[in-house]
């Protein structure tokens, strides 16, 4: 059984507040990089600016996804959240590659920084980032879109921590190269987590089978209904995190009450499993056999049915 999603207004509030905090961190670290001369702090500020952009995308996607379904868009606009998550995931991969490239360049260069000033600004940024991550950590489990936004904040948090550690080591040891090694570790971490976001988004968009929905639990409910012979097909589509559509093919006995079966299935899926989009196909065993021998015309898949050039009249009366 799926967990209910938090109210969208609550998600919008947390995401907006986290975005405002990211803007504050960007300006703090940008000013700090100019005062301290730290390239690492400047790079982290640039990283956080990308995070601000990601927050805007995620917020826009949340607002779009709240629109009601229409005839043209029968499943609503939930996939906008997935598209935003996919875009954010790709953005994260770009950030990771940028960090790794910058780390490589810094190995061959030398910079003169003021570690005390660098440390002070980095600690302020880290503290604000910690608050921002705390705002999103719980709600990120309910939405793929918010999960990607949370990962942006988490990568910011780790990036700022690397700057803090780097500033301390420069201050007490003079060993500047540690900042490069920390940047490489951070880049690899972001690359790994962003790959998971992109992979999950693509699986949703191509409507791959999802293991998140408990099909066996659903079938236990349905098979207990009177008049049902079997359930040969269950198709579950994940529209976004926590939102599914379910299509069922049901074989009924000759004395089965079809209307009652359809009503009971809708009630179970909507009231107990929280599935908003339900489609039930009721068949007899004889009809199922007839349907299985109908072949699909291959040319219709390629060219579509728009031209109606299929060589038969539209009068289907026998």
28 and 50 part of one domain: yes
61 and 142 part of one domain: yes
105 against 25, higher pLDDT: 25
The verdict on residue 193 lying in a domain is yes
Report d(CA 164, CA 121) in Å as an integer: 9
**With 80 as the cut, is the pLDDT of residue 65 above it?**
no
> For the chain, what is the mean pLDDT?
81
Burial 58-77 (b: 16+ CB within 10 A, else e): bbebbebbbeeeeeeeeebb
Helix crossing, 79-107 with 39-65: angle to 10°? Answer: 170
> Total structural domains in the chain?
2
Model pTM score: 0.70
CATH code of residue 197: 1.20.1510.10
The verdict on residue 29 lying in a domain is yes
17 and 128 part of one domain: yes
Report d(CA 293, CA 288) in Å as an integer: 9
**Cβ pair 242, 5 in contact under 8 A:** yes
86 and 227 part of one domain: no
| 305 C-beta neighbours (distance < 10 Å), count | 11
CATH code of residue 255: 3.30.70.1350
Question: What pLDDT score does 212 carry?
Answer: 81
CA-based Rg of the chain, rounded to a whole angstrom? 27
The verdict on residue 318 lying in a domain is no
100 and 201 part of one domain: yes
Question: Which domain, by its residues, includes 79?
Answer: 8-206
The string of pLDDT tens digits covering residues 9-38 is 777 888 888 889 999 999 999 999 888 877
Question: What pLDDT score does 119 carry?
Answer: 92
């Amino acid at each position: 059984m799926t967990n209910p999603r938090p109210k969208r207004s609550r998600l919008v509030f947390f995401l907006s507040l986290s975005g405002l905090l990211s803007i504050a961190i960007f300006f703090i670290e940008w000013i700090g990089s100019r005062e301290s001369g730290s390239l690492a702090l400047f790079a982290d500020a640039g990283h956080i600016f990308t995070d601000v952009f990601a927050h805007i995308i995620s917020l826009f996607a949340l607002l779009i996804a709240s629109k009601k379904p229409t005839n043209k868009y029968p499943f609503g606009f939930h996939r906008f959240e997935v598209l935003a998550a996919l875009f954010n995931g790709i953005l994260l991969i770009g950030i990771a590659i940028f960090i790794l490239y910058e780390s490589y360049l810094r190995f061959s260069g030398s910079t003169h920084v003021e570690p005390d000033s660098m440390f002070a600004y980095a600690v302020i940024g880290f503290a604000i980032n910690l608050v921002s991550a705390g705002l999103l950590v719980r709600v990120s489990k309910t939405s793929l879109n918010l999960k990607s936004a949370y990962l942006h904040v988490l990568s910011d948090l780790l990036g700022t921590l690397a700057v803090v550690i780097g500033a301390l080591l420069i201050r007490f040891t003079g060993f500047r190269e540690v900042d490069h090694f920390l940047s490489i570790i951070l880049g690899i971490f972001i690359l790994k987590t962003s790959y998971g976001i992109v992979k999950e988004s693509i699986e949703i968009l191509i409507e791959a089978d999802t293991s998140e929905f408990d099909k066996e639990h659903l079938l236990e409910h349905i098979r207990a209904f009177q008049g049902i012979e079997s359930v040969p097909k269950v198709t579950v589509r994940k529209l976004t995190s926590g939102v599914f559509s379910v299509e069922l093919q049901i074989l009924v006995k000759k004395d089965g009450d079809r209307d009652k079966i359809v009503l009971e299935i809708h009630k179970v899926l909507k009231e107990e499993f929280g599935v908003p989009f339900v489609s039930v196909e009721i068949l007899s065993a004889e009809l199922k056999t007839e349907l299985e021998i109908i072949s699909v015309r291959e040319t219709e898949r390629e060219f579509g049915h728009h031209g109606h050039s299929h060589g038969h009249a539209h009068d289907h009366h026998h």
